[in-house]
């Protein structure tokens, strides 16, 4: 089990020019963050958005959506965003891993009469 002093290693999963575009247009674009848990295992990827992106897309009228797990970071400078990524992954990496695990059994859809 990892100790409190172990840190998550992470990096952007996009090329640098894509990260620069995301930082320039955070209400329109998202970034991918890859991280490896401190206890080892495969690296994982999580979609990362700013609060501004989340507010904008949640308020779009008449659009439904299924979103993947999102790592939501504050609006701000690159240093603020990267500090938030580090802090949130250090605190919440177990939850991310829990949520990416496969669900037991085969997926089933409701019967038409249940809708």
Per-residue pLDDT tens for 6-43?
A: 678 899 999 999 999 999 999 999 999 999 888 788 88
Distances (CA, A) of 115 to 1, 67, 107, 109: 44, 21, 16, 10
Residue pair 51/70 in contact (Cβ under 8 Å)? The answer is: no
pLDDT in tens, 101-111: 655 666 666 66
Mean pLDDT to the nearest integer, 70-96: 89
pTM: 0.76
Dihedral sign for Cα 10, 11, 12, 14, please: negative
Statement: residue 5 has pLDDT above 60: no
Q: Which tops the pLDDT comparison, 5 or 31?
A: 31
């Amino acid at each position: 089990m990892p100790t409190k002093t172990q840190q998550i290693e992470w990096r952007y999963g996009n090329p640098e020019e894509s990260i620069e575009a995301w930082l320039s247009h955070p209400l329109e674009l998202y970034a991918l963050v890859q991280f490896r848990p401190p206890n080892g295992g495969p690296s994982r990827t999580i979609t990362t958005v700013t609060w501004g992106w989340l507010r904008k897309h949640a308020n779009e009228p008449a659009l439904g959506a299924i979103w993947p797990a999102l790592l939501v970071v504050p609006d701000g400078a690159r240093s603020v965003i990267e500090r938030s990524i580090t802090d949130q992954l250090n605190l919440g990496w177990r939850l991310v891993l829990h949520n990416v695990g496969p669900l037991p059994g085969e997926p089933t859809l409701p019967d038409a009469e249940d809708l």
